[in-house]
Amino acid sequence: MITLTATEFVNNFGRRNQEVQREPIEVTSHGRPVGYYVSAHDFEAMENARQSELSASVRRGMADVVNGHHREYDGERLLQESMQHIAKRRSERRKK
């Protein structure tokens, strides 16, 4: 992942549009992350992964309710798993 200050990001936005097609960009201000710039493809993949996992989670939850079981799901874990899925897909895409 590329890390840039907000100033560097803004001053070279056109160049960054090309770089973000290869990898996400972390934008920092005063040494702290303030945002991430991702390609439209990566964003769509994140949204699809999030929706797929959400749907699967709802199906599991409904099955648990029907079967009289109770299970809690951790939203932070769900986000981490989604990001891992996206990183795996990106890696596979680079190998092609």
Q: Do the strands 32-37 and 2-5 form a parallel or antiparallel pair, or are they unpaired?
A: unpaired
d(CA 73, CA 10): 38
Residues 44 and 72 in one domain: yes
pLDDT tier at 33, thresholds 50, 70, 90: very high
Residue 9, Cβ density class (10 Å: 0-12 exposed, 13-18 middle, ≥19 buried): buried
Q: What pLDDT is stored for residue 6 in this prediction?
A: 94
Domain that holds residue 85: 39-96
Residues 45 and 89 in one domain: yes
Residues 59 and 94 in one domain: yes
6-12: average pLDDT: 94
Residues 33 and 44 in one domain: no
71-87: average pLDDT: 81
Number of compact structural domains in the chain:
2
DSSP SS3 for 67 = coil
Residues 46 and 68 in one domain: yes
Identify whether the C-beta of residue 65 lies closer than 8 Å to the C-beta of residue 33: no
Residues 33 and 46 in one domain: no
Given a cut of 70, whether residue 56 has pLDDT beyond it is yes
